Structure 1
């Protein structure tokens, strides 16, 4: 380009000076100059267009490069950093951290995410993930945010001032409050909560591996506390986490090796006749001895083994049926398991394998309050009823919006928690509550079981309140199948359909 311009300029100068000394040559130089200019202008225009086109292509390539780089660095669904990028940038930030700078690592795990996927499908799960990522970006706009995989996110907060536990908990509280808004999916509003584990640098670790490990233990503790909360790492968590992880491995092995046993506790009518048994799981560990259900059942829930335990108990009950008196057997299932779309199919498979009539089984639902918020769960319960199972709401009175369950969920039996039974006659609110439950059951043709009956006085108070069935140590402790029937008193072999009707107490 410069060469062409130089030639044109030289010719113009020669033309000018030549015309001064030889006017006759002026016309020739003018013609040559005009021809050269006519040739040069298109060349210049072509070159300019080529330069502009090349520049446009370079810009386009840069955009594509940035897009590819962005796709490589970001999680495709949520838009936050993916696992590899987050880990790389977080490690780099910690290595570059000045001695007087501080950091906090938050591991955020969405509560009951599997239940959302199982109940509403993966599109609903995707909506929850995107909503969670949006809330993280909103509350931690200056921090490093990434999706670590599945339903877990990571946040690295850096600060020039020390990050106190109170400040860290406040950040987490704001996030948890933001998640409580929930997210709309079709005509349903999905509730969202998260468990958060925190580790602070440098007090809980100066390297990435130690900080991540300690935040993970704190996350584990949050799940153990009941979820929807935040926990900061403490030294004593190391032994707790190691112990629980060992228990998880041993529980999984116990399920595979059939080392768990089922015990049966009688449920009686007003005459003291056995009308049903509740199947209760027991674990006698070879080294640890007897491990109480209130220890290993929460472990099973946190490690996503609770569904397998439910099927394990049902299968064992079906195998024991020929040895049991001809009465009903109550089997406990968690609310999470009820929300699984394949529950009915799997239960019927077990009954078919063992030749068991579903009308012999009463399904006791724990944490039933959490089911009432979703119409899908009510349909699942209704499908179980239509297949012959009966539904019992267990520990009634221990959750929130209890009476809403009676409107929203199909049921056959209400089991009132023992804390209400023991307070009968001593507390006005308890008396009103129990009387209201009994009246609802009477008008709808359902049964009320009083739990935790340990003395004759307990039984008399529950009987006076209108309860139809009774369960507790007064009538027998849980025993294994070999002992069922020994000194159990009279058995009332009721046909399954009769249980759904009130009988004379």
Structure 2
């Protein structure tokens, strides 16, 4: 019996051990499954984290980090490839007029269009804001530029956003890299960015290849900007005055004031060079204030004529612009009616509502308003009707073409007719010959300006012309040597 009891006890223990082993195996299997699930979740989370770290949240396109990594990897491989920077044209206008949600929708739509148009194997990345990076293989500059132009065209489509039609447009700057291992990614991006800036300067909605001269132009711009920052204190700036005449008797009714810069180091610098550079920096405000002060000093010495002062878009959009101009005129003791503010079409197009408020405020204070270079920008009949204007200034390019181009003459006649029907004055710029005078008089232009009467002169000579009051035309040699028109 004792043996049976011992056997039963052993079998009981064995059964208990087997059950414990089964339970342990089941627990272990369950833990293995849990570990596998946790590993899968960790892998998924890691994948999501990597995706988030390398992709743009709005468009789901690769971001700047991913683009720079891909560019570095591509630069180590053989074969030609293109690096391009794309920027949407006038994107701020969409945000300001329709809203940021519409701007986000436009960014997503443009990104999709770019991805559809990108060659196989190419990359579209959102670098930030409305800027995209493009990377694709190519056989050379001609092929790369053709692809870039196709991408520009892909963006130039109308998309419907929240029930409103929005016309997309983009500019591209690109550089083609040739030899493997000899391309620094940072340098390639900088050159593509220089080419993009060049595309913006040449009218937008286009693609521009990097040119080595752009590097030199950047250095020149830096030297000019540095020199401008000290130009006032060095006494290098001056004002030139060009008469504006009225009627068949050519009475001097006003003067356009023009900024001149004669540097100690390089001599005279053209306004066509330094004004755009100043416009891109805060220097334009200091220069504009200086010009306004000198113009007000001069007009006090004129026997009744007005001064017409050019105001850049950036100055015009300054928050306290109206109050600042009004305060300066009051301090100078000048009637606002003797001050004409000249603005470009760009200044009013970029923010139509804000521009209308500013113009209304200026007109309410008594200032004259002239729209400069009319016909070369974005103006429409609606714009002319909407904004508080006194004068349209016809761009000199149309005046130059009148004697030989029927189209230019027709445009001038149309502008004059439009202005007269709206009760506006017309100033024709760039009048250089008796032929110009005759054609403009026949077209009905009320005011003329140009070298035929006098090129820009200094303040003392302007005062002399103002007291003379009438100009017969064909400026004498003394005046012709004092500067250049415009």
Q: Aligning the two structures, in what range does the TM-score lie when normalised by the shorter sequence?
A: 0.7 to 0.9
Secondary structure in structure 1 of the residue aligned to 2:464:
coil
1:365 matched to 2:343: yes
**Taking structure 1 as reference, are residues 336 and 151 closer, same or farther at Cα in structure 2, changes over 3 Å only?**
farther
Work out whether residues 329 and 360 of structure 1, in 8 Å CA contact, stay in contact via their aligned partners in 2. yes
In the alignment, structure 1 residue 91 sits paired with structure 2 residue 111: no
Residue equivalent to 1:166: 142
Q: Partner residue of 2:475?
A: none
**5+ long unaligned stretches in structure 1:** 1-21, 493-505
Partner residue, 2:45: 64
Query: Which of 148, 151, 154 is the matching residue for 1:175?
Result: 151
Contact 2:95 2:102 in 1 (8 A): yes
Match of 1:14 in 2: none
Matched with 1:231 is 208
Question: 8 Å contact 1:103–1:202 — kept in the other structure?
Answer: no
1:402, distance to aligned residue in structure 2 (A): 5.0
Pairs within 5 Å for 1:379-398:
379-398=357-376
The structural deviation recorded for 1:168 is: 0.5
Distance 1:71 1:360, change over 3 A: farther
Q: How does 1:126-137 map to 2 (within 5 A)?
A: 130=108, 132-137=110-115
Residue equivalent to 1:11: none
Q: What TM-score comes out, normalization by structure 2 length?
A: 0.77
Shift of 1:391: 2.6
Task: Could you tell me which runs of 5 or more consecutive residues in structure 2 were left unpaired when the two chains were aligned.
Answer: 471-486
Q: Distance in 2 between matches of 1:464 and 1:217?
A: 47
- Tell me the secondary structure at the aligned position of residue 431 of structure 2: coil
State the distance in 1 between where 2:259 and 2:97 align.
27
Deviations 1:361-389 (A, max 9, x none): 32223245982895664455445434543
1:211/1:461 Cα in 2 relative to 1: closer, same or farther (>3 Å)? closer
Matched length: 465
| 8 Å Cα contact 2:173-2:193 kept in structure 1 | no
Distance 1:117 1:252 in 2: 33
Mapping of residues 339-418 of structure 1, within 5 Å: 343-344=321-322, 347-348=325-326, 358-368=336-346, 371=349, 377-399=355-377, 402-403=380-381, 405-407=383-385, 409-418=387-396
Cα distance in 1 between the residues matched to 2:98 and 2:306: 33
Q: Is the Cα–Cα contact under 8 Å of residues 119 and 376 in structure 1 kept in the other structure?
A: no
Work out which of the two has the higher radius of gyration on C-alpha atoms and give 1 or 2. 1
Q: How far is 1:103 from its partner? A: 1.9
CA change 1:105–1:364 in 2 (3 A) is same
| CA pair 332-390 structure 1, distance change in 2 beyond 3 A | same
CA contact (8 A) 2:141 2:176 kept: no
> Judging changes above 3 Å, is the alpha-carbon distance between structure 1 residues 90 and 37 closer, same or farther for their aligned structure 2 residues?
same
Q: Which of 430, 450, 458 lines up with 2:436 in the alignment?
A: 458
Q: For the aligned residues, what is the CA RMSD?
A: 4.2
Give the Cα–Cα distance (whole angstroms) in 1 for the partners of residues 155 and 190 of structure 2.
Answer: 25
> Does 1:266 pair with 2:243?
yes
Contact preservation (8 Å) 2:107, 2:130: yes
CA distance, structure 2, for counterparts of residue 224 and residue 407 of structure 1:
29
Q: Alpha-carbon deviation of 1:247?
A: 2.5
TM-score where L is the length of structure 1: 0.74
Distance (whole Å) between structure 1 residues aligned to residue 287 and residue 160 of structure 2? 32
Q: Quick check: 1:327 aligned with 2:305? A: yes
